[in-house]
Amino acid sequence: MPIPLQSGWLYGPIDSRRYGRSLGVNPLPLDRKLCSLDCLYCQYGFTRAQEVVGRAEVPAAAELAAAFDREFARLAAAGDRPDRITVAGNGEPTLHPDFLEISRELVAARDRHFPGAEIGILSNSMHLNREDVVTALNECYDEPAMKLEWGSAECFAAMNQVSPRGYERVLAGLERLRSFVVQALFMRAPKADNATEAEIAGWLDNLRRLRPRIRWVELYSLDRPPAAEARAERLPPEELEEIAERVRRLGLEARRF
């Protein structure tokens, strides 16, 4: 069963296995997933891949900025200091049309209430053709965690249920980031399998191409059950470890979750 959507613009803090005490930021609608991909394994289940049509669809930047200040002040007063603030939420956060503005507001609120806390983001890497997104990721985020888990356009299209044309756009976009963390989920399903030898070899070529920008590579498999119709299966830990070993042989740090 997919998990429910986040019901607020801020959620947590929770103790995260990846990030310590982590406060979540959701700059997206509260009543549906809004994402430009429709991954077979999505924890929120299937929806048609969508883009933002108008600002009325998402919370206004000024409202989000006020919520950052209000909630950060409340947490600071309670002595609940996050190690990290992670922008993610109900889909793809960079889809917000005012992504740069809200990122700068978040940095300012962090500096006022939790100086030293890192700011991260989980992104699907699909919107690096937008100048404001590239500027925001390079300027405001300590460790942008960017999705990169395919070795071919065909696998990209099948796993994410979108056109294969986005694949080269993702690779070219990642070349515009100063540095980033790779997030790669491996799984098998009747419709797509990104753990075949051909896919892994292609993915390692992509890592080679982007190596100077990669801080480290995070590998994981299914954590929460996706939509049952996807019939997606978890990769055994020993297979994930073999892939991690191949990443290390490229001279990159691999972290397995």
Return residues touching ligand SF4 (CB under 6 A).
Answer: 35, 37-39, 42, 44, 91-92, 124
Tell the smallest beta-carbon distance from residue 139 to ligand SF4 (Å): 23
State the pairing for strand pair 10-16/20-25: antiparallel
Tell the smallest beta-carbon distance from residue 62 to ligand SF4 (Å): 25
Which residue, 74 or 163, is less far from ligand SF4 as judged by CB?
A: 163
Contact 47, 32 (CB under 8 A): yes
Give the orientation angle of helix 197-210 with respect to helix 237-249, to 10 degrees: 40
Contact 137, 92 (CB under 8 A): no
Which residue, 109 or 158, is less far from ligand SF4 as judged by CB?
A: 158
Which residue, 38 or 57, is less far from ligand SF4 as judged by CB?
A: 38
Tell the smallest beta-carbon distance from residue 156 to ligand SF4 (Å): 12
Smallest Cα–Cα separation from 12: which of 109, 104, 82?
Answer: 82
Tell the smallest beta-carbon distance from residue 109 to ligand SF4 (Å): 24
- Give the CA distances from residue 130 to residues 45, 73, 82, 86, in Å, rounded to whole numbers and listed in that order: 27, 32, 30, 21
Which residue, 64 or 187, is less far from ligand SF4 as judged by CB?
A: 187
Tell the smallest beta-carbon distance from residue 166 to ligand SF4 (Å): 12
Dig out the tokens for 214 from the structure: 């990669």
C-alpha span between 100 and 140 (Å, rounded) = 9
Other C-beta atoms closer than 10 Å to the C-beta of 119 total 20
Which residue, 117 or 148, is less far from ligand SF4 as judged by CB?
A: 148
